[in-house]
Amino acid sequence: MRFLVIASMPTDKVNKAMKHGTFGPTMEKFISEIKPEAAYFTEVEGIRTGMFIVNLTSSNEIMKVSEPLFHAFEATIKWHAVMSPEEVMSGAHFIEAAVKNYT
């Protein structure tokens, strides 16, 4: 199942990692381990944030993604299940059934 993982990292923790030269290598190691479909960096409400699209085959892989971010950067993490347009279209019959049966 595909997820959007949003990892907000405290500025002071990231600043220290950048000052000591460990942010880049740590993030590179993390990305090479989780192999996201995509990775983006931005700010959300003024907080440094990484966004990763990951495809998990088992729920226990949540720890593989979350734990490095918790320990390395004290990140706050949010998980969102996401679908491609093709996946939405293949599930359209569920929407139609819900409309028919529940409205």
Residue where the block lists tokens 């918790």: 70
Q: Taking the model in full, what pTM does it have?
A: 0.88
What pLDDT is recorded for position 42? Answer: 97
> How does DSSP assign 54-92, residue by residue?
EE-SSTTHHHHHHHHHHHHH--EEEEEE---HHHHHHTH
pLDDT in tens, 39-61: 999 999 999 999 999 999 999 99
Q: Decide: 56 and 34 in contact? Cβ < 8 Å.
A: no
State the pLDDT confidence band at 96, using cuts at 50, 70 and 90. Answer: very high
Report the percentage of the chain scoring pLDDT > 90. 100
What pLDDT is recorded for position 63? Answer: 97
SS3 36: coil
Q: Decide: 76 and 37 in contact? Cβ < 8 Å.
A: no
What pLDDT is recorded for position 66? Answer: 98
What pLDDT is recorded for position 82? Answer: 97
Mean residue pLDDT across the chain: 96
pLDDT in tens, 19-30: 999 999 999 999
Dihedral of alpha carbons 21, 49, 2, 63, sign: positive
Q: Residue 66: is it exposed, middle or buried by C-beta count within 10 angstroms (0-12/13-18/19+)?
A: middle
